[in-house]
Amino acid sequence: MYLADLYDSFLIDLDGVIYVGENPTYKAPQILNKLYKAGKEIIFITNDPRRSSSQYATKLTKIDINAPATNIVTSATALSIHIQRKYNTNSKKAFVIGSDNLKKEVKKIGLELISKKSKVNCDFVIVGGDNRVDYNDLKKATLCIRNGAKFYATNNDPYYPTPQGLVPATGALVAAIETASSTKATIVGKPKRIMFNIAKSLLVNKSRIAVIGDRLDTDIAGGKKAGLSTILTLTGSTKMDEVKSSKIKPDYVIKNLSYLYKDSSLSKHN
Ligand SMILES: [Mg+2]
């Protein structure tokens, strides 16, 4: 019995689990193909809204993993699917502070985009992954929300690493608009439920599901909140001593994905 045999479906994070930069983690392509051969369902989940699902599919093909774009859920696709399922988007308008990909996703579900210079009010303010923001973006978003627009964000990551150090990410913009509008945003990405619910809704086998991720605060905490089994891999941002000192306890900790098919992996972590 291998760890992989305990589950029918996997929600797998990309960065730090399948690859780091352009390189696959140890044996990731082989293990993924083994899972597919065993009939496992796999949905890839990522908080990064800057690339489209098809761009991620292309990136995976380059490391010999053939996943259909429909099985790759970014925080931008999760956000647009969520809005489409929850509201009638017909003739509704959105103001988006975000990447070109996020704008495309929002347009796909029938929302009309307005610009920061527009005098028109909008129904949705959507924020995610933009490094070209200026005061007028924040102003337009604030005015729209104060006039009743629903406020959504792809994720709430406060900062991200660059060669110069940690710099403001989506969460920093969200905080500015929340402060100015006195309204909390609905966050879609991990560790929030919406992301996991959307990914789960795409599965046929919904009973034995495990989340595989490299971060305790997003992948593992979110998976646990969504009531799913959790497997932490040590191929990304988390080291074993952090696992020991953290209050967030994954069901299993594995050194890399190859341990899904090793006998020794079946010692429960807690
Ligand atoms: Mg990751």
Domain annotation for the chain: domains and CATH numbers: 3-47+190-266 (3.40.50.1000), 88-187 (3.40.50.1000)
Give the model's pLDDT for residue 130: 85
Tell me how far the alpha carbon of residue 135 lies from the centroid of ligand 1, in angstroms: 31
Residue 152's SS3 state is strand
Report how far apart, in Å, the C-alpha atoms of 20 and of each of 23, 76, 87 are: 5, 21, 37
Tell me how far the alpha carbon of residue 139 lies from the centroid of ligand 1, in angstroms: 32
Tell me how far the alpha carbon of residue 215 lies from the centroid of ligand 1, in angstroms: 6
Tell me how far the alpha carbon of residue 16 lies from the centroid of ligand 1, in angstroms: 5
Tell me how far the alpha carbon of residue 188 lies from the centroid of ligand 1, in angstroms: 16
Give the model's pLDDT for residue 267: 52
Quick one: tokens of 165? 């150090």
> Hey, which bits of 116-260 come out as E strands?
124-128, 150-153, 159-162, 165-168, 186-187, 209-213, 229-233, 252-254
Name the residue among 172, 202, 232 with its Cα closest to residue 74.
202
Q: What is the largest CA-CA distance in the chain?
A: 63
Question: Identity (one letter) of the amino acid at 225?
Answer: K
The answer to whether 32 touches 65, Cβ cutoff 8 Å, is: yes
**pLDDT beneath 70: ranges in the chain:** 264-270
Give the model's pLDDT for residue 264: 62
Tell me how far the alpha carbon of residue 227 lies from the centroid of ligand 1, in angstroms: 19
Give the model's pLDDT for residue 160: 84
What is the spatial distance between Cα 233 and Cα 213, in angstroms, rounded to a whole number?
6
pLDDT digits (tens, 9 = 90+) for 17-45: 999 988 999 999 999 999 999 999 999 99
